[in-house]
Structures are given as structure tokens and as C-alpha cells.
Chains A and B, each alone.
Chain A
Amino acid sequence: MLRAYSWNEMNYYVLIYDQGAGRVLDVESYGPEGALAALARRFELDREYAGRPSVEVVLLSAESEGALHQTHARYFKSVDELAQPG
């Protein structure tokens, strides 16, 4: 069912985030060849957390985890931290 993917130099991240607690429970990282494994893992975790609606399982890709912090800061920072300059 799953095919090979080719996002060169992009890493894949499966992020598990608890909205209620406002914190990341885990980030699993996969290298540039790991798209297929990351997608399969996301589906597996979707099922595992199906009974916990406050938990998001997110599949993202980025050059680095630092880039994820830039474009998806809400997972990593509180409103307090987001509002601080710089």
C-alpha cells in the first residue's frame, strides 16, 4: 500500500502532542529515507491514541527539528514564551 518517497534531505517526524497538558509527549524522528516508516508509524499511533481526543498524532517533515520549532512553535512553546520578543 505504501510507496517509496524522495524528499531529499528532509527528515520526518512523528510528533505526539497532548493538547490538554499543552506539551509534546514524544517526537520520533526518521531520516530522509524514513517517509514510509513514519507514515506507517503515524497510522499505528492514530489507532493507539484513538480513545484520547486530546492527543494529536502529527506527521511533519523538515530539514531539522529546529525548523519544526520555527514553523510549528505552538507545539513547543507556551503563550508566554511565544509572546516574548526575539
Chain B
Amino acid sequence: MNRRITIAATNSLGRRIRHRGLDEADRALLELVLADSFDALTEVSDVIRRELPDVTFTPRLKTVGTLVDKLMREEGMALSRMRDIAGVRVVDEMNRLEQDVLVGRLVEALGIERPRVDRRRDPRYGYRAVHVEAAVDGCFVEIQVRTRLQDLWAQIVERLADNWGRQIRYGGSPPDAEREIAPDLTRADVWTIVQDLSTAIDTVESSEAEVVAKGEEEEAILVAATNRRELAETLRRLERVAPRL
């Protein structure tokens, strides 16, 4: 892959955007950065398709708005070091042990040397997944591997962030948290349920991994079933308030 724009020029561009916003001349340069990331994304996607033909995945290129927001939000970040301009998402019905196996297959197929980011053990404001990063000629491609439940939570929060603002994805409280959005219902109430859902998903997934690890031991199965019921109840709580959002 031949880069269209050097790393030094990419970082100068990032600094200019941070300080004065995105003008037309810099938009043209940003398109070169995005096109380079698209090349890297293509190479990574081709390897996944060839080496892991059973895996369904979705490549995507970061939007201009979220890219500029991230530059503004993360003061010291060099544009060339932004890890998720190009991304691949894999979502599948799997337990955490199977998730580990899938991540291992991706790491091997892509020759990834950087350590994986395990957001199951170190969740970010409730977000859980495993991320690995491939690099092609200095362009990073972030690969997000999520179970269906981890993805469900992430999608709900992204959808809420469309209405409430993206700060909730980065640890902020919902704006106007105490204002009633319906009788006896505030955004803070909804946010509490969403955080409870994150915890319930973690509990279910941990206990279901225990079932496998303990060879289907009866007590472990009972614990996992109880946790599933609690997760279903938390989802019902959210479902009851969601139409009022």
C-alpha cells in the first residue's frame, strides 16, 4: 500500500483541524487520510475473507463528524495515531470462550502483535467487547469483536447518544438528567436501567462461561439460568420505558 499523505502531514492536518476547524483545503487532505485508511481496511478485510471465510463482518470508515469530535475531545491525540478511522465489526452469537477463540483466529490471520484490548475485564463506561488493532503501512484498523449481548448494549447506548449527545458514551451523565421526560421518568432513571443492563449482561456472560469451564455442572447451570432471568427482567424494565423516550 502506498500512502497518499505522509504521517507528518497527517499530524499537521490534525493539529490544524483541532485549532481552527475543518476548512475546504483541509477537507481535501482529510479525504486523502480517509482514502489511505480505506486501503488499509481493504487489505485487512481481504485477509479476513480469505482466512476466516466463516466469519461475517462489517467494515466501516469513520465519519468526518466523529473524527473531528475525537480530535477536539482528545487534546494530545495525533491524527496518525487515531486507531479507529478504519474499523471492522464482528458480532456473533457466542459465549466468551468462543469470543476468545475468534479473537485468537483474527490475531493469527492478521499477524497482529499489539496486545488485545479486553473491555470485558476493563469495561469503558459499561461498554464491553474485545478490540484488536491491525496496522497496514502505519494505518490502523480497529477490529471490534462483540457477542450479541455486548452489541445490544452498545447499540442501545449509541441510539440514546443520538438523542442525548455523545458525551454519555464517554462517561458523562445525560444532559438535563433530572428533567422529567415523562411522568415519573427522568433521563437519569433511564440511564440507571442502561447501566443495570450492562451489569446484567456481564453477569450472564461470566456465568455462562463458568458453565462451559465447569463441564456443565448443575449448580453452574442453575446460576446461569437465574442470571438469564434477571437479564430478561432488566430488558423488560427498559422496554417499558423506551416508548416514552
Binds A, one of B42-50, B76-84, B174-182, B204-212: B42-50
Judge whether A77 and B56 touch: CB under 8 Å.
no
Judge whether B59 and A61 touch: CB under 8 Å.
yes
Our pick among A6, A22, A39, A80 for the contact of B38 (Cβ within 8 Å) is A39
Complexed CA–CA distance, A63 and B54 (Å)? 12
Judge whether B42 and A74 touch: CB under 8 Å.
no
Judge whether B159 and A61 touch: CB under 8 Å.
no
Q: Binary interface profile of B, 137-175, with partner A (CB < 8 Å = 1, else 0)?
A: 000000000000001100110111011000000000000
Judge whether A68 and B232 touch: CB under 8 Å.
no
Judge whether A22 and B159 touch: CB under 8 Å.
yes
B window 184-224: CB within 8 A of A: none
B window 1-36: CB within 8 A of A: 4, 22, 27, 31-32, 34-35
- B60 CB within 8 Å of chain A: yes
If A71-B58, A79-B238 touch, whether A19 touches B162 (CB-CB below 8 Å) is yes
Binds A, one of B61-69, B102-110, B111-119, B126-134: B61-69
Judge whether B39 and A3 touch: CB under 8 Å.
yes
Judge whether B45 and A2 touch: CB under 8 Å.
no
Complexed CA–CA distance, A1 and B49 (Å)? 25
Q: Which A residues are in CB contact (< 8 Å) with B238?
A: 79, 83
Complexed CA–CA distance, A31 and B67 (Å)? 27
Q: Among A1, A9, A59, which residue has the most Cβ atoms of chain B within 10 A?
A: A59
Complexed CA–CA distance, A23 and B82 (Å)? 28
Q: Which A residues are in CB contact (< 8 Å) with B75?
A: none
Complexed CA–CA distance, A10 and B59 (Å)? 10
Our pick among A10, A58, A82 for the contact of B155 (Cβ within 8 Å) is A82
Complexed CA–CA distance, A30 and B127 (Å)? 32
Judge whether A60 and B159 touch: CB under 8 Å.
no
- B235 CB within 8 Å of chain A: yes
If A7-B45, A43-B31, A63-B56 touch, whether A74 touches B63 (CB-CB below 8 Å) is no
Between-chain CB contacts (< 8 Å), 14 pairs: A2-B35, A6-B46, A7-B49, A8-B49, A20-B162, A39-B61, A56-B63, A56-B65, A57-B63, A59-B61, A61-B59, A71-B90, A78-B245, A79-B245
